[in-house]
Amino acid sequence: MCSYPFGPDSSAAELWLLDDSRRLLQLNRARANVWPRGFFALGTDGGELTYLLDTATPPFPVLAFNLESGKLEPHAPSFPAFVKLLHDELGFIEADERATHEAFRKKKWWQFWIRP
């Protein structure tokens, strides 16, 4: 993580791909007995999914562990693909925020439900 791919205030740094070694260690120690050997937790979705890097299987896919079902599901075919997915998601969130701001700016006087 010498060149972390996201800004310190991004959602990625807070949840999806943790940028805090202490939190990463806590996350990995908490579930070390649950996940298969060779898996390393990268972060969570803030709810039921934990993202795991399979360090034993090239090209090192990222899987999602579903806490509710206890199942591992493919999420990205490799770590670079996972980072790209996160960049795409952040881009979608930013575009949605811009659209919401624009809708608020252009709302009519009677459109009280449109919030900033």
pTM as predicted:
0.79
Contact 17, 86 (CB under 8 A): yes
Task: List the domain boundaries for the chain.
Answer: 11-106
% helix, strand, coil for the chain, step of 5? 40, 20, 40
Per-residue pLDDT reduced to its tens digit, 38-85: 999 999 998 999 999 999 999 999 999 998 998 999 999 999 999 999
CA angle 16, 59, 38 (to 5 degrees): 70
Q: Tell me how far apart the alpha carbons of residues 112 and 99 are, in angstroms, rounded to a whole number.
A: 17
